[in-house]
Every structure is written in structure tokens, then in C-alpha cells.
């Protein structure tokens, strides 16, 4: 695996790959890699000839009171994981490489950024779109691979590709979970031992809500029951049942449903979702 730190060196190498007729997949990450990230690499390897994984903790998607300075950092383990999984290139740019002076980008996301996670993290998705757009400019991938745990982010990136008229295929993989159902996340490292024991109840609440939905329970009752079941020690941000394709209210024509939620457990913010097809459509 090549480790490349500058844009010029990366573009020179990828240019040589393209001259050989090879396609390129991008797996952008912020490091602190877990098995879910490595599954993204697996997906990328089936989607293109060359897999570029990047590690860059993007400052523009963190609010001043968030964990930019404390975000989990495990460079040696990350490198080993990527080598073992068969990534071809690890791109490790500095902030100055990604955001040189006077560099501008189309990163105003619009209404979707104000929904769900965007209500409590108002700058987050504009920052995500900014850095993803920047990586697309640099790498010019044929395919980019993302996880479905950050479902709102995934929809925003799909919209970004369409809005910017980019010839990039967006691939995704299902949520990677621990054996007890907890969605894998770099921030799970923040959980204390007692919090980690409680954390699986979050996914259990979503699965119960799905069961209630499929049994015909009214949405308001379903959501209220889920909120009550989470209760303490979870601090609820939101719990919604929406059209999975639009992240708006379900209508008679909605084919796919998402049950999506965010909570805090101690200092740790957890997000999770379940997407499924309606049986009566």
C-alpha cells in the first residue's frame, strides 16, 4: 500500500493508473477505523481496480463545542487494517492541503441539512459536503463508498453528486454491527464500561419500533413508546419514522421506510437507523 501525503503526488500516481485503464474507488474516512470501515474497502475492491482510502479529520464539520481535538486517533492500527484489507493507496493530507488559502467550494447543502442531525448540528452537513466535494475534485474517483449508518449524510452526498453533475457512482454498505446489535462507530470508544452494556438498548428500541409499525400501530403511538423505552440514561435528540428516499413524512406512495434516531449516552452521541420496504405498497 502506498502512503501519499500531497495532492500532487496522489494525482500523479492516479494519472498513471488511469493511463493503464484502471478505475478508481474512494473510501473517505476520519480514521479510528473499525470493521465497518474495512467493509467499505471490501466493497470498493469489488467496484474498481484501485482503492484509495483517505484519513482526514475534517475541521469544517465540527462545531466549537464538539470533539475535533479529541477525535479517536489510531494511525498505526488504521494502516495495518488497510494493508490487511488490500487498499492500494492511503491518502493522508494535511489541513493545508485540503483547504489552501482562498480555496472555495460549493458546499451549501440546503433544506436536507436542517433535518434530523442537522437540527442539533447546524454546520455539520455543510462541512461534510465541503470536504467530500474537495476529495472528489482531488481524486476524481469512478466510485465512492459510504456506510448507511450516516444515512442522512449518504443522501446529501448523492444530492451533491447530482447537483454538481459529477460522473461518480455512489455505493453504500449496510450498517456494521457488534454482536449485540450496537452500530459500529469510532465514537463508541468514548463509552464507559457501564454505558457500553446499556448501549445495545438503542438498537433494540428501533427494532421494536419496526415491529410496532408492521403490526399497524399509529406512528404517534409508536414514536412515543420508543421515546419512553429509551428514557434514561439516553438523552434523546430525535426519533423519527420517515420516507427513506426523501427523509420526509410517509405518504401513501412511500415504498421504503426509515426508522432513524440519535441519542446521547453520557458524552457519546449515537446514531442508528433501520430501513425496510413497506409490505402494503
Pick 123 or 54 by higher pLDDT. Answer: 54
Where residue 103 falls among pLDDT bands split at 50, 70, 90? low
Per residue in 62-98, pLDDT (tens digit) is 988 899 998 998 999 999 999 999 999 999 999 999 9
Number of Cβ within 10 Å of residue 270's Cβ equals 23
What average pLDDT does the structure give for the chain? Answer: 94
CA atoms of 149 and 182, how far apart (whole Å): 11
Per residue in 143-169, pLDDT (tens digit) is 999 999 999 999 999 999 999 999 999
Helix intervals (H) in 86-123: 95-98, 117-120
**How is domain 186-277 classified at the architecture level of CATH?**
2-Layer Sandwich (3.30)
For residue 207, pLDDT beyond 90? yes
* Four-residue CA torsion sign, 185, 191, 193, 199: negative
For residue 248, pLDDT beyond 70? yes
pLDDT, position 170:
98
pTM: 0.94
Annotation: CATH topology of 2-173: Rossmann fold (3.40.50)
pLDDT, position 47:
97
CA distances (Å), origin 181, targets 15, 53, 134, 185, 196: 42, 26, 34, 12, 12
Where residue 191 falls among pLDDT bands split at 50, 70, 90? very high
Where residue 279 falls among pLDDT bands split at 50, 70, 90? confident
Domain ranges of the chain: 2-173, 186-277
For residue 6, pLDDT beyond 90? yes
Average pLDDT over residues 215-224: 95
pLDDT, position 101:
78
CA atoms of 21 and 87, how far apart (whole Å): 18
pLDDT, position 104:
59
Q: Which residues are known to be catalytic? A: 37
Whether residue 264 is preceded by a cis peptide bond, meaning omega within 30 degrees of 0, is no
Amino acid at each position: 500500500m502506498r502512503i501519499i501525503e500531497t495532492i500532487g503526488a496522489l494525482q500523479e500516481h492516479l494519472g498513471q493508473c488511469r493511463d493503464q485503464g484502471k478505475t478508481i474507488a474512494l473510501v473517505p474516512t476520519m480514521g479510528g477505523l473499525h470493521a465497518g470501515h474495512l467493509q467499505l474497502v471490501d466493497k470498493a475492491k469489488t467496484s474498481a481496480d484501485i482503492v484509495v482510502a483517505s484519513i482526514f479529520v475534517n475541521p469544517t464539520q465540527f462545531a466549537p463545542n464538539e470533539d475535533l481535538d479529541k477525535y479517536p486517533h489510531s494511525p498505526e492500527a488504521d494502516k495495518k487494517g488497510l494493508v490487511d484489507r488490500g487498499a492500494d493507496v492511503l491518502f493522508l493530507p494535511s489541513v493545508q492541503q485540503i483547504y489552501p488559502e482562498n480555496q472555495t467550494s460549493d458546499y451549501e447543502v440546503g433544506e436536507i441539512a436542517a433535518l434530523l442531525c442537522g437540527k442539533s448540528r447546524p454546520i455539520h452537513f455543510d462541512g461534510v459536503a465541503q470536504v467530500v466535494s474537495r476529495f472528489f475534485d482531488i481524486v476524481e474517483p469512478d466510485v465512492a463508498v459510504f456506510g448507511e449508518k450516516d444515512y442522512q449524510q449518504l443522501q446529501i452526498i448523492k444530492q451533491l453528486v447530482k447537483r454538481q453533475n459529477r460522473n461518480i457512482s455512489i455505493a453504500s454498505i449496510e450498517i456494521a454491527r457488534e454482536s449485540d446489535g450496537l452500530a459500529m462507530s469510532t465514537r463508541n470508544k468514548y463509552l464507559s464500561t457501564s454505558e457500553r452494556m446499556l448501549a445495545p438498548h438503542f438498537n433494540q428500541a428501533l427494532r421494536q419500533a419496526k415491529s410496532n409499525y408492521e403490526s399497524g400501530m399509529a406512528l404517534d403511538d409508536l414514536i412515543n413508546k420508543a421515546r419512553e423505552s429509551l428514557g434514561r440514561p439516553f438523552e434523546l435528540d430525535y426519533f423519527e419514522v420517515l420516507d427513506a428516499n426523501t427523509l420526509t413524512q410517509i405518504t401513501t406512495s412511500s415504498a421504503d421506510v426509515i426508522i432513524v434516531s440519535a441519542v446521547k449516552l453520557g458524552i457519546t452521541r449515537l446514531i442508528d437507523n433501520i430501513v425496510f420496504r413497506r409490505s402494503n405498497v
